[in-house]
Structure 1
Amino acid sequence: MTGATAARAVAAPAWLTRFYEKVDALDTEGVLAGFAPDATMRYGSGDPMPGHDGIRAGLTFLFTSYRRIGHEFRGVWQSGSTVLLEATVTYGRPDGREVSVPALTVIDHRDGVIDDMRIYIDPTPVQAG
């Protein structure tokens, strides 16, 4: 499965679907445009990446480490400005293998941009050789 659309219908806000289309396209600047200038992003157990410069560095590392990334939405829940996204994420490794892992992302979204994103994922199976 490629792209942010799931094989089964999952109701998701349009902005979230558009955002993950940019993630799956490995579009660093397009993804970055979805964040507030002073936003923070955290991936797995890594350190928080503050601001556009920190997020750009993290995205660049992630997007150049894999041939492709695809998200299949499993569930989306929203309470106020906080969105929870459950997804299966498939990574295309440089060696040609594809590895899928579950992820839960907590997003604080205000005024049309992401203020904070916390991605709970164990990338160990993806990184294993």
Structure 2
Amino acid sequence: MIEVSRQIPINEPGQPVLTRSDVWQGLVMKADNALPFVPAMTHCEVKSREGKNVLVREIEFRGERCHERVTLTPEQQVEFVRLDGSVLGTILNNIEEDEDGLGLRFSFKLTLAGEKDGSPAEKAYGETVEKDYLKAVDATLAAIRRLKGDRDALLKRYYETVDSMDMPAFKAMHTDNCKVFFANFPAAEGPEQIAGAIGQFWSTIGGLSHTIVNRWDHQNETVLELAVDYTRLDGSHVVLPCVSIVKPAGDKVAELRVFIDVAPIYAPAAAEAEPAE
């Protein structure tokens, strides 16, 4: 049996910092389609799903096609069990954390058909597979960093555009079928409806500025806790708490849900207290 276990540090100096959630998103995407993450794999297709966290996929690795059952333990582990082919066994991807920070451990216990334990052929195959998986871990972390960087750039550009109240630029940042749900206003779909709805809202304020308080990234969306500083038409300000859910699609937004109570914007600014008689 070929047994290997190696941990790779996730946050090396000089690299964008990844959270456990960031890494987990990447592992989920790799489970669905490993081709962007595993250089030695040339085919990957999900054949069936068993609930939310188990799938069976067909892969081609080093020229051989086989099937794997993939089991996801959220934020912790992905297990790959080979179901057929000349190499059987289990491969694990684990997110670990210790005093040195986050690490991504890959482990495998594999048997090579027709070879005795410890044979030269088995040892040679094990060395080759270990190199392949080291490359796969590096490629996986690099892909996750790219994805996080792309999302960082999109969110930064999106809220800079909103805060500038630049309507042409704002319209251009939404997909053709984008949906926006803002406060308790009717949903708007498509850039024209979105521009009309948000433009009408912008006409009732003097300006706005978003500050991100907390952020939670998931595979297909980002949840933001925001503090929004609104400038009223009379020049006074009110800062309101807000939660937004953003679903990216490449360099555009495919859906936006904004949970906020905008009533305080239109309440009279608090008057200075009258001195006691």
User: C-alpha distance in 1, partners of 2:263/2:246?
Assistant: 23
Partner of 2:233: 94
How far apart, in 1, do the equivalents of 2:211 and 2:250 lie?
A: 26
> Distance between the aligned counterparts of 1:80 and 1:116, measured in 2?
14
Residue pair 1:75, 1:85 contacting (<8 A) in 2 also:
yes
1:48 matched to 2:187? The reply is yes
Give the letter aligned to residue 55 of structure 1.
I
Gapped regions of structure 2 (runs ≥ 5): 1-147, 269-277
- Of all paired residues, the percent bearing the same amino acid is 23
Which consecutive segments of 4 or more residues in structure 1 shift more than 4 A?
A: none
Instruction: Name the Cα RMSD after superposition.
Output: 1.5
Unaligned runs of 5+ in 1: 1-10
| Structure-1 separation of matches of 2:168 and 2:177 | 15
2:155 is matched with which residue? 16
Distance 1:51 1:18 in 2: 19
Give me the whole-angstrom Cα distance separating, in 2, the residues matched to 1:93 and 1:100. Answer: 11
Return the TM-score normalized by structure 2. 0.41
| Post-superposition offset of 1:87 | 0.6
Residue of structure 1 equivalent to 2:74? none
Q: Kindly indicate whether structure 1 or structure 2 has the higher relative contact order, using CA contacts under 8 Å at least 6 residues apart.
A: 1
Question: Does structure 2 retain, via aligned residues, the 8 Å contact 1:28–1:63?
Answer: no
How far apart, CA to CA, are the structure 1 residues paired with 2:199 and 2:210? 18
- Which residue does the alignment assign to 2:170? 31
**How many residue pairs end up in the alignment?**
119
Counterpart CA distance in 1 for 2:184 and 2:236 is 24
Distance 1:96 1:32 in 2: 26
Q: Aligned residue for 1:69?
A: 208
Amino acid at match of 2:192: D
The structure whose Rg is larger is 2
Stretch moving more, 58-67 or 34-43:
58-67
